[in-house]
A = this chain, B = another copy of it.
Amino acid sequence: MTQPKYQLIAQTLRTRIEEGTYPEGTIIPKEVDLAASFGVSRPTMRQAIQLLVNQGLLERRQRRGTLVRQSKIAQQFTHVIQSYNQEIAANGRCGRTDVLSFCQEPATEEIQQALHLDAGTTVYQLVRLRFADDEPVVLVTTYLPVAPLPGLDQVDFAHQSLYAELERRHLAITSVNRKLEVVAADNETAALLQVAPGAPTFYFHTRGQVSDGHTLEYSIAQYRGDNNYFTFNINRS
């Protein structure tokens, strides 16, 4: 049984994308021109393009043409403790962080429970928006108790890693528990992440412990659904 012609053409297009003939984020030639260059009909060409759209490699953009999608970022967040910039660098992309706010406030009930704090304890609230090559990837809100971390708000977390700073203070995070949910982005988060309101996002709650088992960090991280994925390798126990 031979493969249909549109599948063979789709494979050629896929190779051109993977080899960089059509780089990520660029527009591929027009359907009519591609059909002519392959010597096939336009419906066949359209079928080949549609296959790659279905596979997530191409994306139709109104009035612009057909775009080569940026590949999603493979995140290790679910099974490795490492800094954001390390994760992004492992994907061959460039990480950047904007600190949206960094303030002190009384812990809410939720934060008291997560960090095992008494009512009225003051915590830092650090809000960071993190990018890969200028594309927003994740919005992270982190809570840490103020008492054991004096002067933390003097640190420039646009350029410093929080985990490295905690390590410097001999309070390295050595284990974390994460809970993953999916939620539709609300209007404010969608605007920050540059997605449509209601777009699906990964929604992580993290509790980070120092070596004596004490919880020092409570974070809420919302990853864009369209530019991230997570992988797992599991062996039967």
Query: Which of A's residues lie within 8 Å of B, judged by CB?
Result: 1-3, 7, 10-11, 51, 55, 72, 78-81, 106, 109-110, 119-120, 172-184, 198-202, 225, 229-237
Contact = CB atoms under 8 A, between A and B. Distances in A.
B79 A234 contact: yes
Given A174-B236, A236-B175, A182 B198 contact: no
Question: In the complex this chain forms, how many copies of it are found?
Answer: 2
Nearest to A119: B3
Contacts of A119: 1-3
Contacts of A231: 177-180
Contacts of A230: 179-180
Contact of A177 (B199, B232, B236): B232
A232 B79 contact: yes
A64 to B, nearest CB: 22
A202 B235 CA distance: 21
A120 B4 CA distance: 10
Nearest to A177: B233
A226 to B, nearest CB: 9
Contacts of A179: 229-232
